[in-house]
Structure 1
Amino acid sequence: MTTLSVDDDLAGYRIVRRLGPGALGERYLADHPRLPRRDVLTVPHPGSGDDADARARFTRAVDIASSLLHPHIVPVHDRSDSDSGGGGDSGSDGDGVSWVSTAYVDGSDVGVLLAESGTPLSPDAVADIVAAVSHALDHAHAHGLAHTDLRAGEILLDAQRHPYLTGFVLAGPAEVADDQAQLARIAIDMLGSTVGLQVDHVISRGCSADPAQRYPSCRDFAAALRAALGGVEDGVASSPTVVTATASPTVVPAPPTVVAAPPTMVAARPTMVAAPPTMAAPPMPVTAGPIRWSGYPGTVEQLRGLACGAFFAVTTSQDPVDHLTMAESDRSIRKIIRRAWAITDTASAIDTTELLALGLVTADYDAVLAGLTHMQPGAPRSAIRLDPAAADAIAAASGVDAARARTVAQAIALSRTLPQQVPVSTAAWELGQAVELVRMCHRAGLVEEIWAWAAIIDLGRRAEQRYADWTAFALGFEWGRALACAEDARDPAAAADESCARTRPVLSLLLTDPSSPWTRIPLQQ
């Protein structure tokens, strides 16, 4: 038998219409022979009935599927199989035709929903649908089944838009992994082409060509996507039209509870370190929406360390305290760290991180600032007027580079926008850079996660030792970045002003937004 037609009879079922192909075979809507309802009949694809192994796999998959009890998996009602083909005439066993009957979901599917709406779905709706489907997939995977043909049109929706899956087949590890990739592609179809960098990273990881790089389970992918979308708390459906199962509360795999101390750093190679990169992306305006923070289930030290680098993350991913991975692609990250920091391997990654943690230029900046405040105690920054000779005297007394001292003094004296208050230390700039560098090196595969977390914890503790609160940290960050930009400029004061114009809006947002990690994670206990 090739196909069934309207009004054909199969095992007492009357064919109403053809629904289309699925993973197991052709699907038809049919009237039940005895009950006042309609079921879906699935008949193996033409030719597959001639293969004894294919028939055995079909039967085994249906038998397992019939035992699955899940709110997002279509129930299996009955099946029949035979060793020979047959026609479409009536017969108690289907006249030699293998078939399986399942419940009929009277509604539509996600593909139809997208076509009818003509616009992407809301983030909450996408998060709910992906969560429901991910639970169904993981439940099937736990019983040796996979979908293998997951598309928007395969996610069925009833009248209340409750998602369902059907058509599972026997699966191995490859098929199980492919289900997550297919779910990730559906997520991007539902969201549209324009998504944030953090969402793009989650999707990219779920679709990774290397199955080992994907999330441990579909539920982990769904939880990470919900966090990136800034959706509601897992397990609570925010959309009245989509009902979801309880999702995993873990956003990403938790880091080790006890983290080993960072390994001893090898001797630094000064020639490997280039000047700090300038910010390419414009800062997020102060009027932007709240910073999304998933509440990463790590230690306070881990969160504090990540918050040190929040300025960088908030200008790109809008999720400054999430986890180690970055929103950018692996290739772009490797290019950034190679061009800006000359990092090409693990040793250079560790060396440069340690240099930043110790302070490449902070010691010089701090010595000049200390000299200025000693010469003019209590004077606001705008009142400082320092001639080159005085700058040279401070440099000689503190042992810092004279050219750097003159540049710093010029930037301080002539800048129009540097804050009036002189910071205790500008180390915040390099601590923030170091956290960002650790995250990029981890994403590029140059350092292990346990080392990365240990380094971030150490950087967070260094911040705690230098700064009383996040306001002081922000002041040190703004000054440090401005002075670093001034060093490479023909007009140091103008470069400092430009840096402040980029930095201050983001720092203001971090300090004033109630969801900001800088206000939720104390620098000092």
Structure 2
Amino acid sequence: MGTVYAAAHPRLPRRIALKVLHPALAEDDDARARFEREADHAARLEHPNIVAVYDRGREGDRLCIAMQYVEGTDAATAGEGGPLDSARAVRIVTETARALDYSHEAGVLHRDVKPANILVEHPRPGHRGDPGRVLLADFGIAKALEQTQHLTKTGMLVASLQYAAPEQFANLPLDARADVYSLGCTLFRLLTGQQPYPGSPLAPLMAGHLNSPTPRPAALRAGLPAGFDEVIARALAKDREERYPSCGALAAAAQHALGPAEADIPTRWRPPSRRCGRNRRRTARHPHRSSPNRPPARRPARAMAGGRNPARTHAAPPELAGAADSTLERLWHPPAQV
């Protein structure tokens, strides 16, 4: 939907990411609305595993969003298109699950969970054992949970269909279990290097998600613990009542399948508590206490923004040279989604 540039903050000594609506979509009212909605939804979410949105604005007829800069890659290209080490795959899914469960508690459904929307920070030089942070990005088609009853067929087709839940194809009201399904598809892709239901034409892709047997990752990758078959079978259940109740529950099951000998995940995931709001208030009164239902506090990090390959940069187009008084460098140009 947009092009993302690295930009110098006009007043602070740090880099940000500037996402600009694709020129081909500038006259598309629906695309413009979805682009602005991305900023609205993401701005409501403050979590260490979610790319932060700082501001949004307009330069001429071009809409833009200023957001956190991430020096790294995305999960789709982290293994150069192939499968990841199983421990690393589980860690990425676990961190993403934290972001998703938090957004669900805030009333926001992502609806487009896939490896390309999960950013993986490069390890910092000189910090052995630091695997880099994992951050969820692109809330462009996110929907407030109370609004999912009005999901349109057009909205369904905007989603990345390779990772879409069966109820998205059936144009049914969605809930958090749609994101659970997509996260399960993401885990399958990271473990095997393949889509659970490959294919690009819509008809066979729909048939796969709606009717085909759930694929077994251990059958596609030698040496993968057989427990992942059960994890994927439940995460990708056609009937959402049979899926994991939360993304955190899926992540915990994946950690169990991995086994303690291989896991490089520092803590076990605990499902979010319904008492989260009360714990937040308690923490506000006693800042020295940390809520047991929130992720552990992290050390301060430099400002970040999304990027796949910072080494491959280009000058920004002339019409954007003055945007936010920033010097822009082109980082990547994902295909427009229509």
TM-score (norm 2): 0.53
CA distance in 2, matches of 1:147, 1:62: 13
| Cα distance between partner residues in 2 of 1:202 and 1:119 | 17
More strand by share: 2
Aligned length: 206
| Deviation for aligned residue 1:222 | 1.0
How many angstroms does 1:137 deviate by? 1.1
Superimposed CA distance per residue, residues 110-132 of structure 1 (whole angstroms, 9 cap, x where no aligned partner) = 2232118x65313x323222111
CA 1:175–1:51 in 2, change beyond 3 Å: closer, same or farther? farther
Residue 61 (structure 2) pairs with residue 96 (structure 1): yes
**Structure richer in helix, relative to its length:** 1
2:111, 2:142 within 8 Å by CA — same for their partners in 1?
A: no
| Aligned 8 A contact 2:5 2:17 in 1 | yes
Tell me the residue number matched to 2:13. 36
Q: Does 1:248 align with 2:270?
A: yes
- Shift in Å at residue 203 of structure 1? 0.7
TM-score (norm 1): 0.35
Distance 1:95 1:32 in 2: 19
Question: Retained in 2: the 8 A contact 1:148–1:175?
Answer: no
Partner of 1:218: 247
Measure the CA separation in 2 of the matches of 1:243 and 1:94: 44
Distance 1:205 1:119, change over 3 A: closer
1:208 aligns with 2:230: no
Q: Cα gap change, 1:43/1:174 in structure 2, threshold over 3 Å: closer, same or farther? A: farther
- CA–CA separation in structure 1 for the residues paired with 2:6 and 2:182: 26
Q: Quote the RMSD (CA, aligned, Å).
A: 3.0
Question: 8 Å contact 1:110–1:152 — kept in the other structure?
Answer: yes
- Note closer, same or farther for the CA distance 1:129–1:35 as it changes in structure 2 (3 Å cut): same
8 Å CA contact 1:202–1:221 kept in 2: the answer is yes
* Gap runs ≥5 in structure 2: 124-131, 149-172, 193-219, 273-338
CA deviation digits over 1:50-104, x for unaligned, max 9?
4555544543441231131111011111101xxxxxxxxxxxx411322111111
- One-letter amino acid matched to 1:76: V
Corresponding residue number in structure 2 for 1:166: 137
What's 1:229 paired with? 258
Say whether the 8 Å CA contact 1:127–1:231 is kept in structure 2: no
Q: Are residue 121 (structure 1) and residue 143 (structure 2) matched?
A: no
Any conservation in 1 of the 2:49–2:96 contact (CA below 8 Å)? yes
Higher relative contact order (CA 8 A, sep 6+): 2
CA distance in structure 2 between the partners assigned to 1:50 and 1:144 by the alignment: 30
Which amino acid in structure 1 is aligned with residue 107 of structure 2? G
Rounded to whole Å, the distance in 2 between the matches of 1:48 and 1:56 is 11
Partner amino acid, structure 2, of 1:167: D
Counterpart of 1:189, as a letter, is R
**Cross-structure match for 2:158:** none
1:68-217 matches, cutoff 5 A: 68-80=45-57, 93-115=58-80, 120-122=84-86, 124-160=87-123, 161-168=132-139, 169-171=141-143, 172=148, 174=174, 176-192=176-192, 193-194=220-221, 195-217=224-246
Structure 1 residue aligned with 2:126: none
Q: CA deviation at 1:108?
A: 1.7
Q: Residue 80 of structure 2: SS of its match in structure 1? A: helix
Change over 3 Å in CA distance of 1:115–1:47 after alignment to 2: closer
Q: Name the CA distance, whole Å, in 2 between partners of 1:142 and 1:69.
A: 12
Answer yes or no: is the 8 Å Cα contact 1:107–1:156 preserved in 2: yes
Q: Following the alignment from structure 2 to structure 1, what is the Cα–Cα distance between the partners of residues 37 and 235? A: 29
| Secondary structure of 2:4 counterpart | strand
1:228 offset after TM fit, Å?
Answer: 2.1
2:304 maps to which residue?
none
Q: 1:119 to 1:217 in 2, by over 3 A?
A: closer
Give the partner amino acid of 2:11.
R
Report the counterpart of residue 202 of structure 2 in structure 1: none
Cα deviation digits, residues 150-187 of structure 1 (max 9, x gap): 33232211123210111113323537433222211221
Which residue matches 2:42?
Answer: 65
- Structure 1 partner of 2:129: none
3-state SS of 2:10 partner: coil
**SS, match of residue 40 in structure 1:** strand
Kept in 1, the 8 Å contact 2:23–2:62? The answer is no
- Compare CA radii of gyration and give the structure with the larger one: 1
Summarize the alignment of residues 495-514 of structure 1 with structure 2, pairs less than 5 Å apart: none
Displacement of 1:238 in angstroms is: 4.8
